[in-house]
Homo-oligomer: A and B are copies of this chain.
Amino acid sequence: MEPMHTHISHQYNAELEDIRSKVLQMGGLVEHQIEQALRALTSGDTLLGEAVIMNDAKVNQLDVTIDEECNHIIARRQPAASDLRLVMAVIKTITDLERIGDEAEKIARMAVKLAQEERPKNNYAEIGALGSHVRDMVHEALDAFARMDIEAAVKTAHEDRKIDQKYDGVMRQMITFMMEDPRTITRALDVIWAARALERIGDHARNICEYIVYFVKGKDVRHTTLEQIERDILGREDKNTR
């Protein structure tokens, strides 16, 4: 992170480093929440589900703390250029992390509810597979954030589509179940909600990847297609830096 080390003020550097490392701390907590929520769902563990619901308050607390720190930096340090982009990327990233936390909490609530009901033979294996993929994507997005690695960010953003395909697979399977036996409809809808929550986590992870690109390139890519990003940014990078 070159720009961090060019400041005269060591204190300012330390503040910028601090918000970055707190984002990673919050990210680690959110990853853990996803993992535990999925385990609660697939193992029918009510206590674990309830722990995840409780721990969402910690995610929210970090969101508030980091947001306040960012506001202080803006007010006191008057950041410009890449420092300002970093603070903005942090503010946006924590909003998405907080919402990923909310989705994990929803999955945990679903886990608690489904634990009371008859278990399907495969123990919601389809949700488990989709869930691992989504958790990996969040991990990779945070890893790209830690290194502010634009190439990793663009690659990770791509995973969103594969997740959408897996999600469509879960939907088709649930529709088949419901058609075969209408008594499974309410349970199948709960599985669909859990899958929907996972799919939305994928969207948030993709947003985080886009903030990384914005930080590095100073270009707003939120409304650009992935193909354009690759053509514009990686293409140019290929030419210029290799």
Which residues does A use to contact B, with CB under 8 Å? 57, 60-61, 63-64, 67-68, 71, 74-75, 78-81, 84, 88, 91-92, 95, 98, 171, 175, 178-179, 182, 185-186, 189, 192, 196, 220, 222-223
Contacts and interface: CB of A to CB of B under 8 A. Distances in A.
A64 B67 CA distance: 21
Contacts of A223: 57, 60-61, 63-64
A79 B157 CA distance: 34
28 contacts: A57-B223, A60-B222, A60-B223, A61-B223, A63-B222, A63-B223, A64-B220, A64-B222, A64-B223, A67-B220, A68-B220, A71-B88, A75-B79, A75-B80, A75-B81, A75-B84, A91-B91, A92-B95, A95-B95, A98-B222, A171-B189, A175-B185, A175-B189, A178-B178, A178-B182, A179-B182, A182-B182, A196-B196
A194 to B, nearest CB: 14
Contacts of A178: 178, 182, 185
Q: Is the interface of A mostly helix, strand, loop or mixed?
A: helix
A84 B71 contact: yes
A204 to B, nearest CB: 11
